[in-house]
Amino acid sequence: MKKRPALLCIFALLLLLTNLLPAAHASTISAKLRELYAVGDYPAIAKLLEKRIDEIESATAAGSTKADGKEIYNLHLMLAHVCAWQLDRFNDGLAEYERALELRREQEREALQKKIGPNMSSPALEYLFMAGMYEHIKDYARAVEYYQKTLQEAKAYSDALASSGERVFLGNDLTYLIQYAIDTIQIQLQSAKTYTPLAKKIDLMHESNPMMMNFMFATVFPEQEYIFENKSFVLENNNLNMEAFIKHNAASTYSMLLEGGLLTGGLTAITDDSIQRAAEAFLKKYPDSYLSLATGFLLSQNFLKNGDAEKAQSHLDALKKTAKKRNIELVIEPDKKFASPESTWEALRQAMAVGDIEAALSCHTPGDPKYREIYSKFGPEILKKIGADMKPIEKISADEQTAKYRANRKHKDIDKEITYYVYFVKTYGEWKIESM
- Does residue 86 belong to any structural domain of this protein? no
Read off the pLDDT of each residue in 166-178 and give the average, rounded to a whole number: 77
| 353 compared with 230, residue with greater pLDDT | 353
Q: Does 359 reside within a domain?
A: yes
CA distances from 282 to 224, 235, 289, 392, 404 (A): 18, 19, 10, 46, 39
What pLDDT was estimated at residue 120?
58
CA dihedral 301, 306, 310, 315 (to 10 degrees): -30
* Domains held by the chain: number: 1
Q: Flag whether 404 is in a domain.
A: yes
Residue 19 has pLDDT above 60, yes or no: no
Q: How far is CA 201 from CA 172, 196, 228, 292, 329, in A?
A: 11, 12, 36, 16, 5
> Binning pLDDT at 50, 70 and 90, where does residue 115 land?
low
Class of residue 54 by CB neighbours under 10 A (exposed 0-12, middle 13-18, buried 19+): exposed
What does 125-173 look like in DSSP terms, one character per residue?
A: THHHHHHHHHHHTT-HHHHHHHHHHHHHHHHHHHHHHHHHT------SH
Rounded to whole angstroms, the Cα distance separating 27 from 288 reads 39
pTM of the model: 0.83
Asked if 278 and 299 count as a contact pair (C-beta separation under 8 A), the reply is no
Task: Judge whether 237 lies within some domain.
Answer: no
Q: Is 291 a member of any domain?
A: no
CB of 337 within 8 A of CB of 347? yes
The span from the CA of 367 to the CA of 376, in Å, is 16
Q: Which of 162, 164, 182 is nearest to 172 (CA)?
A: 162
DSSP string, 390-409: ----EEEEE-SSEEEEEEEE
Beta carbons of 234 and 38 less than 8 angstroms apart: no
For residues 216-245, give the mean pLDDT: 81
Q: Helix or strand or coil: residue 254?
A: helix
CA end-to-end span of the chain, whole Å? Answer: 45
On the question of pLDDT at 356 being above 50, the answer is: yes
Q: Is residue 381 part of a domain?
A: yes
Given a contact cutoff of 8 angstroms between Cβ atoms, the answer to whether 422 and 405 are in contact is: yes
Question: Is the model's pLDDT at 302 over the cut of 80?
Answer: yes
Of the two residues 381 and 165, the one the predictor is more confident about is 381
C-alpha dihedral sign at 202, 207, 211, 212:
negative
How far apart are alpha carbons 41 and 38 in whole angstroms? 8
* Percentage of the chain exceeding pLDDT 70: 86
Closest alpha carbon to 201 in 358, 320, 328, 293: 328
Residue 418's φ and ψ, nearest 5 degrees, are -120, 150
Mean per-residue pLDDT of the chain: 85
Q: What is the mean pLDDT of residues 361-368?
A: 85
Asked if pLDDT for residue 25 goes beyond 50, the answer is no
Instruction: Tell me whether residue 197 is in a domain.
Output: no
Residue 294 has pLDDT above 50, yes or no: yes
pLDDT the model gives residue 18:
39
Structural domain includes residue 390: yes
Residue range(s) defining the domain that contains residue 369? 336-435
Count CB-CB contacts under 10 A for residue 215.
Answer: 20
Quote the pLDDT of residue 167.
Answer: 53
Q: Looking at residue 398, which CATH number applies to its domain?
A: 3.10.450.50
- H or E, element range at 244: helix 242-248
